[in-house]
Amino acid sequence: MARITFTGHLRRHLDCPDMDAPGATVGEVLTAVFTANPQIRSYVLDDQGRVRKHVNLFVNGAPVTDRDFLSDPVAEGDEIYVLQALSGG
């Protein structure tokens, strides 16, 4: 299982504790997380199932490259981080 962690900013708005979830890809892990906690989905993904513009995902510190289909591989013990990207001046 992979460990998924949400930033404190998201936790202020949602009940999204760190959790372990099964899956061989980022998408499979997120599906398991969304099954356990459906309200998180709309904060992370848009209506087409793509990562929202102002959300960043990392696997073991490296940015996820497939923001459309979430096919980046995940291995046992990997860590996935979900962060809200900040913009502005």
pLDDT digits (tens, 9 = 90+) for 35-80: 999 999 999 999 999 999 999 999 999 999 999 999 999 999 999 9
Any domain includes 70? yes
Predicted TM-score (pTM) of the model is 0.90
Mean residue pLDDT of the chain comes to 92
Looking at the domain assignment, is residue 89 inside a domain? Answer: no
**Residue 79 belongs to some domain of the structure:** yes
**Position 8 confidence tier, pLDDT thresholds 50, 70, 90:** confident
CA-based torsion, 45, 67, 78, 75: positive or negative: positive
Q: What is the CATH number of the domain that holds 75?
A: 3.10.20.30
Number of domains in the chain: 1
What residues have CB less than 8 Å from 37, skipping those under 6 apart? 14, 15, 16
- Is 90 exceeded by the pLDDT of residue 5? yes
Tell me the pLDDT band of 12, cut-offs 50, 70 and 90.
Answer: confident
